[in-house]
Amino acid sequence: MPTTEKTRSLTGRVVFQYFYDCGGDIELSKIPKEKLVLIERPKVKKVRVLAPRYEEVGLQPLEVNLGAKKIDGHDATVEGRIFPIGVIEIYLSIEFRKAGLDEVIKLVGIDEHTVKVEGKEMEFEKITGDFFTGLLKTIKPAIVSPYPAFEHPEIYTLIMITESDPKLNAQDFMKKYKKQTAGILRGEREWKKLSDKEAEDSLKFYLSYSDEDIVIVDWYSALMSGAVDYMGELERMIEFARIQLLELKTYDKLLDRRLEHAYGSLHTVFATPRIGIAWGRRGYGELTKAAGELAEWRIEVTDLVEDMRNILKFTGEWYLGRLYRISSERFRISDWLALVDKKLGQLQELYGMAMERIDVHRAATLEFLIVLLIVIEVILAIVLGIK
């Protein structure tokens, strides 16, 4: 793995994952499948004793073949993965064979600069963005419960090593070639200059089921080596965590917009006198409208967040569950959940304030009607007495 060892070579692939929010849930049954080249994957036969088993609920994607591209001289295959939760993943894969460390690091960082595609210079993100736009246009009829989409994709890179010569085991990545491994994860060509602390941070979250396989999860990329037959399952766990992160960022942005609108609406209404008669008042009408919107938004976002929380349910598979948990910890998903929950609480408080003001108006109106009835009754009594 170090550049001084000329016999060291790596074989595998680098996968660039771009996750896009679609602005609504996707009903897979409504997708015009005749317009897409679907990918049918055979079920993997699990023959290894250590093979992980898990049950996945509610997030099986529809996989689509989007063709191939020549990017800076590399052959890249492109797939689309359509998730019912309202996410499209553009999955761009480039293989490398018997490559040295510097070659792999260079390939990992290819998405950080302008690349040449079919003779044209363009940003890497434009390649995936064009694929997403085309796929979104095709599946548009299947999008339900729309909301403002999150504009920026969630980006992640997977480095999947299937062969190494001489063979690398799990401890080689963690100890013997610690800085080189950190260099691959960070796409850092000057990996020798990395501090020990930085290298340790990049390798902090990892799992190793046997001496021959390892999964290391960093901020912007993950490295997998060994367990070739089961890399797809390991990859899927990290993929689900990234989808959760994207959706939490989407809901956070959506809540910001809802709260801003709610504050604006309620500020105008609360500026009016606190006590008044309900009927015929413009402020009361605006208040009831704002309260109705707040209730609707609260239910809408709560449902979205609960769907996102329940992306996976594990039944007895501790290893993949652990990988999912360390991925969630690395991506600070619990912090995003706490932030979204806090804003949901603010939305609830605003709804409570609006309903309190509505109750005040209703009570004032009821008091006015009672007084009015008493006055009418007194007047009638006086008139009848005079007659």
- Boundaries of every domain in the chain: 9-235, 240-386
More reliable by pLDDT, 116 or 351: 116
**Mean predicted confidence (pLDDT) in 83-106:** 93
| Contact call for residues 243 and 311 (beta carbons, < 8 A) | yes
For the ranges 44-48, 142-146, 151-155, 193-197, which has the lowest average pLDDT? 44-48
The pLDDT-based confidence of 47 (bands split at 50, 70, 90) is very low
Contacts of 29 (CB under 8 A, 6+ apart): 142
- Per-residue burial over 111-124, b if 16 or more Cβ lie within 10 Å, else e, is beeebebeeeeeeb
Is the whole-model pTM more than 0.85? no
Instruction: Return the DSSP state at 48.
Output: S
**pLDDT-derived band at 271, boundaries 50, 70, 90:** low
CA distance 230 to 52: 8
Give which of 178, 162, 170 is closest to 99, Cα–Cα.
162
Residue 184 reports pLDDT greater than 60: yes
User: What sign for the dihedral angle of Cα 253, 295, 333, 221?
Assistant: negative
Q: Say which residue the tokens 């329940």 belong to.
A: 310
What is the C-alpha separation between 284 and 290, in angstroms, rounded? 10
Question: What integer is the mean pLDDT of 214-224?
Answer: 95
Average pLDDT of the chain is 83
For the chain, first and last CA: distance in Å? 113
pLDDT exceeds 90 at position 74: yes
Pairing of β 114-117 and β 120-123: antiparallel
Spatial CA neighbour of 105 closest among 92, 118, 96: 96
With pLDDT > 90 as the criterion, what percentage of the chain qualifies?
43
Between CA 146 and CA 25 the distance in angstroms is 7
The answer on pLDDT for 279 being more than 50 is: no
- Determine the pLDDT at residue 172: 92
User: In b/e form, how buried is each residue of 250-263, taking b as 16+ CB within 10 angstroms?
Assistant: bbbbbbeebbeebe
**pLDDT bracket for residue 50 (50, 70, 90):** very low
Whether 41 shows a pLDDT value over 90: the answer reads no
Give the pLDDT of residue 21.
94
Q: Which residues pair with 154 in a beta bridge?
A: 19
Q: Are 347 and 262 in contact (CB under 8 A)?
A: yes
**Residue 155: left if φ>0, alpha if ψ -120 to 50, beta else—which one?**
beta
Q: How many other CB atoms sit within 10 Å of the CB of residue 197?
A: 8
Rounded-to-integer distance, Cα 328 and Cα 308, Å: 13
Q: What is the pLDDT of residue 51?
A: 44
pLDDT classification of 304: cutoffs 50, 70, 90: low
Phi, psi dihedrals of residue 165, rounded to the nearest 5°? -135, 115
Name which residue leads in pLDDT, 165 or 64: 64
Phi, psi values for residue 47, rounded to 5° = -110, -15
